[in-house]
């Protein structure tokens, strides 16, 4: 059965959320033929086919295998040949099918006809849409008044986006990277290496983690979870030990062998405290430091002088005896590794890489290496929040904000600031398949194909040091009035004329094909294959052999697309040490001593809260914000199953919850399941209380869930948004709140 949607089908919509512009319930059923499929699958011989594609729910780029019945996608599983996922997917990947059938998908281009946010739109043709965008860009480009915000990604398609907006003199910004790229500046400052750091979790024997959500959503989540499984249970060596330093009793903290509750801004002090013990007791790998040509005298002196065990204990709440044990445990094991969350503050990232250097963890199994390549052109490191704050301050009637698969209103900043930024824009244009919260404030909607309908080519963040390119053709044919993003940019460039008309390829396929040719010409690597064949290829490459999987560039490209990607398993190891030696050794950043003076934060006691005398107890609790692993900050919150899996208490699905230590809760008359009001000087929200044994006393941890008024039908069901509590000018980690039962 062929699924076709014609104009008349769309006129029959009963459930469109933005009248006539979105798929709606009826359209969703037409697209899925869900009822018909359900009725016929059991009884008739539907034609079953499979297609490879790439998950786009995060930058990890896991390969997926799409099961199609009569051309309609009915199931998404992991691609068993993908070296990242090896047939597995996380919950977000499994739920990506829901995005394809999202009733809030846009069916074609439209322009705003009412006031912003009124949801009054007129469908327009693609010619008019492109002409409108081109004329606004022509006016804004000379003044540099364009901001282009995109989901974090790397690869030839991202390069086209960068190229187009650079030619238009736009400022480029990306949503919060989930990848090790964020740790890159600290890694580069210490080692001089230009690639991202790669952590060999699988072969480590002892991991000290500073807030890294290892079993939740760290770096390349499926890869990490597979590695964690082997770290814990390997036939050839003892079970790996995990110590988690975290301000909240996260899922990783629960799975760890030991959890140390330490306030986020104090974790770098603890890391330097451990370094200080290693140096005082002369337990560091001095021969490696000498081999690398490193002079660490100044750094050692600063750490040993200021980060005395007593001072560190005072500042972090971690007893001296524990501090000494943490340091000694690290060196009692052959392959210790220290890791941090991808969005760790710079001081913590500096401390974590310094610890790895002292432990001799660079370029050894179970340590830190450097990713061999990064295909993205050098990027302006401006974050989405900075770009939008700038727009709020300097935006004008000619300013243009372009959004690619990114919602400005979901950025990790106070929503009021974001709305002000959007108000200052002359034109907001959204390149997204979905009607999300920012789309409904936009002026021009240019809906793009969904991932299942698109060409892909992206560089997965290198978790294992191997080079990879995840790529695929469309798994299903586009059936709505959407367009390929690259084609939209190409036509816009042509309409603008001048320099910008030249460089952009005509389509995503035209951008992907040269990349496949480039790989063919490298004469190494292989299309995604089984792990046995990948290992075989590694052995061959070590011996100086390469057996091509095809005889021509065309055949090779076809094989890579059918497999879902290309991998060169060999190149990675041993690049970091030479980079450090070339640079003349490690450049340690001496830590500032000033942060030690503040003492233990009043509102962050240790879990031994019984020891806190009532007179010392503050009526204010420290606010800890965390992002549940199933929340997607880049895409659209259009997957209801993810809202069911947030991890909240069983009795409160679809609600934001707040975690409290039982004794802290008792002090405020709060029981499990009570609805509580949480107030800061900026605002207040309601949440359901969840009592967590051993949670730090005097803190309240609140989930960040994108409960946005215009965020699609599912997001609207979530009522509280923790960002309403964030105070302008106050560090997020330092916000104090009051809690009262409602
Ligand atoms: S880790 Fe990322 S790319 Fe992989 S399945 Fe999950 S969401 Fe998709």
- The residue whose two tokens read 């021009």 is 444
Atom of ligand 1 nearest to the CA of 78: 5
Taking the C-alpha atoms of 166, 168, 174 and 180 in order, what is their torsion angle to the nearest 10 degrees? -10
- Pinpoint the alpha helices (H) of 587-711: 640-644, 662-667
CA distance 302 to 304: 6
pLDDT recorded at residue 590: 80
CA distance 698 to 327: 28
pLDDT recorded at residue 633: 53
Atom of ligand 1 nearest to the CA of 54: 3
CA distance 25 to 2: 20
- 583 burial (CB, 10 Å; 0-12 / 13-18 / 19+) is middle
Instruction: Flag residues of the chain having pLDDT under 50.
Output: 1-17, 375, 377-378, 603-615
Nearest to 637 by CA among 23, 95, 148: 95
Atom of ligand 1 nearest to the CA of 220: 1
CA of 62 to the centre of ligand 1 (A): 5
Partners of residue 369 on adjacent β-strands? 198
Atom of ligand 1 nearest to the CA of 94: 5
Nearest to 191 by CA among 43, 44, 371, 25: 371
Which of 85, 227, 461, when mutated, tests ligand 1's pocket best, judged by the most ligand atoms within 8 Å of its CB?
A: 85
CA of 690 to the centre of ligand 1 (A): 28
Taking the C-alpha atoms of 323, 368, 186 and 298 in order, what is their torsion angle to the nearest 10 degrees? 60
pLDDT recorded at residue 176: 64
pLDDT recorded at residue 605: 47
CA of 470 to the centre of ligand 1 (A): 12
DSSP state string for 313-380: HHHH---HHHHHHHHHHHHTSSSEEEEE-TT--HHHHHHHHHHHHHTT-BTSTTSEEE-S---SPP--
- Mode of pairing for the β-strands spanning 72-78 and 526-527: unpaired
pLDDT recorded at residue 4: 46
Structure-block tokens of residue 445:
């909607």
CA of 153 to the centre of ligand 1 (A): 13
CA of 82 to the centre of ligand 1 (A): 12
Kind and range of the H or E run holding 53: strand 48-54
CA of 92 to the centre of ligand 1 (A): 6
Sign of CA dihedral 452, 454, 457, 462: negative
pLDDT recorded at residue 611: 43
CA of 89 to the centre of ligand 1 (A): 6
Atom of ligand 1 nearest to the CA of 91: 6
Partners of residue 471 on adjacent β-strands? 457
CA of 61 to the centre of ligand 1 (A): 6
CA distance 295 to 278: 17
Q: Is 408 left (phi over 0), alpha (psi -120 to 50) or beta?
A: alpha
Nearest to 94 by CA among 69, 68, 75, 67: 75
pLDDT recorded at residue 412: 57
- 501 burial (CB, 10 Å; 0-12 / 13-18 / 19+) is middle
Pocket of ligand 1 (CB under 6 A): 55, 57-58, 60-62, 85, 89-90, 92-93, 221-222
Which residues, 6 or more positions from 666, have their beta carbon under 8 angstroms from its beta carbon? Answer: none
- Mode of pairing for the β-strands spanning 258-261 and 336-340: unpaired
Kind and range of the H or E run holding 143: none
Nearest to 199 by CA among 356, 316, 345: 356
Which of 56, 80, 90, when mutated, tests ligand 1's pocket best, judged by the most ligand atoms within 8 Å of its CB?
A: 90
- What is the set of domains in the chain, with CATH numbers? 7-100 (2.20.25.90), 110-177+379-507 (3.40.50.740), 197-370 (3.40.228.10), 510-568 (no CATH), 601-741 (2.40.40.20)
Residue 74 near residue 34, CB atoms below 8 Å: no
- Pinpoint the alpha helices (H) of 507-612: 508-522, 531-542, 553-563, 576-583
Going by alpha carbons, the residue nearest to atom 2 of ligand 1 is 58
Which of 92, 227, 452, 642, when mutated, tests ligand 1's pocket best, judged by the most ligand atoms within 8 Å of its CB?
A: 92
Going by alpha carbons, the residue nearest to atom 4 of ligand 1 is 62
Residue 502: Cβ within 10 Å count: 11
- Mode of pairing for the β-strands spanning 400-404 and 368-370: unpaired
CA of 230 to the centre of ligand 1 (A): 19
pLDDT recorded at residue 541: 80
Structure-block tokens of residue 55:
């998950």
Which residues, 6 or more positions from 321, have their beta carbon under 8 angstroms from its beta carbon? Answer: none
CA angle centred on 293, ends 291 and 298, rounded to 5°: 120
pLDDT recorded at residue 14: 34
Query: First CA to last CA across the chain, in angstroms?
Result: 55
Kind and range of the H or E run holding 652: none
């Amino acid at each position: 059965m062929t699924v076709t949607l014609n104009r008349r089908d769309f006129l029959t919509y009963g459930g469109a959320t933005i009248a006539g512009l979105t798929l709606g319930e009826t359209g969703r059923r037409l697209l899925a033929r869900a009822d018909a499929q359900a009725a016929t699958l059991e009884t008739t011989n539907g034609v079953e086919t499979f297609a490879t594609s790439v998950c786009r729910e995060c930058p990890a780029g896991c390969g997926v295998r799409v099961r199609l019945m009569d051309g309609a996608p009915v199931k998404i599983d992991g691609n068993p040949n993908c070296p990242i996922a090896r047939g597995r997917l996380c919950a977000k990947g499994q739920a990506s099918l829901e995005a394809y059938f999202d009733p809030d998908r846009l069916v074609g281009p439209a322009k705003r006809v009412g006031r912003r946010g009124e949801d009054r739109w007129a469908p327009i043709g693609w010619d008019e849409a492109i002409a409108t965008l081109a004329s606004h860009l022509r006016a804004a480009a000379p003044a540099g008044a364009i901001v282009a915000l995109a989901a974090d990604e790397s690869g030839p398609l991202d390069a086209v986006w960068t190229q187009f907006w650079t030619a238009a003199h736009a400022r480029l910004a990306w949503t919060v990277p989930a990848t090790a790229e964020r740790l890159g500046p600290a890694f580069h400052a210490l080692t001089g290496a230009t690639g991202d750091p790669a952590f060999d979790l699988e072969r480590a024997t002892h991991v000290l983690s500073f807030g890294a959500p290892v079993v939740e959503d760290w770096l390349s989540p499926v890869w990490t979870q597979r590695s964690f499984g082997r770290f814990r249970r390997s036939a050839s060596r003892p079970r790996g030990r995990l110590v988690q330093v975290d301000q909240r009793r996260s899922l990783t903290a629960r799975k760890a062998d030991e959890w140390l509750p330490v306030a986020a801004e104090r974790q770098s002090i603890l890391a330097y405290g451990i370094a200080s013990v290693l140096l005082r007791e002369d337990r560091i790998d001095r021969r490696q430091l000498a081999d690398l040509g490193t002079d660490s005298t100044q750094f050692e002196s600063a750490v040993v002088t200021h980060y005395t065990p007593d001072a560190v204990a005072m500042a972090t709440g971690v007893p001296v005896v524990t501090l000494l044990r943490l340091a000694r445990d690290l060196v009692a094991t052959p392959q210790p590794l220290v890791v941090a969350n991808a969005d760790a503050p710079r001081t913590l990232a500096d401390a974590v890489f310094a610890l790895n250097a002292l432990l001799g963890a660079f370029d050894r199994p179970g340590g830190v290496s450097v990713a061999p390549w990064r295909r993205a052109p050098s990027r302006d490191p401006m974050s989405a929040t900075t770009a939008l704050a700038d727009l709020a301050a300097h935006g004008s009637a000619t300013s243009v904000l372009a959004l690619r698969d990114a919602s400005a209103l979901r950025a990790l900043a106070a929503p009021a600031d974001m709305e002000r930024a959007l108000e200052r824009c002359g034109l907001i244009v959204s390149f997204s398949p979905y009607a999300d919260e920012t789309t409904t404030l936009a002026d021009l909607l240019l809906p793009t194909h969904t991932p299942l309908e698109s060409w892909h080519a992206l560089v997965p963040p290198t978790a294992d040091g191997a080079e990879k390119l995840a790529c695929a053709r469309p798994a299903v044919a586009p059936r709505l009035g959407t367009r390929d993003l690259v084609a939209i940019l190409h036509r816009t460039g042509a309409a603008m004329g001048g320099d910008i008309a030249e460089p952009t390829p005509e389509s995503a396929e035209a951008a992907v094909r040269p990349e496949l040719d480039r790989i063919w010409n490298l004469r190494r690597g292989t299309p995604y294959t089984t792990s046995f064949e990948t290992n075989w290829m590694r052995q061959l490459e070590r011996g100086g052999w390469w057996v091509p999987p095809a005889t021509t560039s065309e055949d090779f490209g076809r094989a890579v697309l059918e497999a879902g990607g290309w991998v060169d398993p060999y190149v990675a190891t041993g690049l970091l040490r030479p980079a450090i030696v070339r640079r003349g050794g490690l450049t340690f950043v001496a830590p500032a001593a000033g942060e030690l003076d503040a003492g233990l934060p009043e509102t962050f006691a240790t879990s031994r809260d019984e020891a806190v005398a009532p007179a010392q107890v503050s009526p204010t609790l420290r606010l800890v914000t965390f992002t549940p692993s199933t929340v997607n900050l880049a895409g659209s919150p259009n997957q209801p199953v993810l809202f069911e899996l947030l991890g909240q208490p069983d009795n409160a699905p679809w609600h934001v919850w707040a975690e409290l230590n039982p004794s802290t809760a008792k002090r405020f008359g709060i029981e499990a399941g009570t609805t509580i009001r949480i107030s800061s000087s900026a605002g207040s929200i309601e949440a359901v209380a969840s009592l967590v044994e051993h949670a730090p006393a005097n803190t309240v941890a609140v989930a960040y869930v994108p409960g946005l008024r215009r965020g699609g039908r599912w997001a609207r069901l979530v009522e509280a948004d923790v960002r309403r509590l964030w105070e302008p000018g106050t560090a997020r980690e330092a916000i104090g709140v009051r809690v009262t039962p409602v």
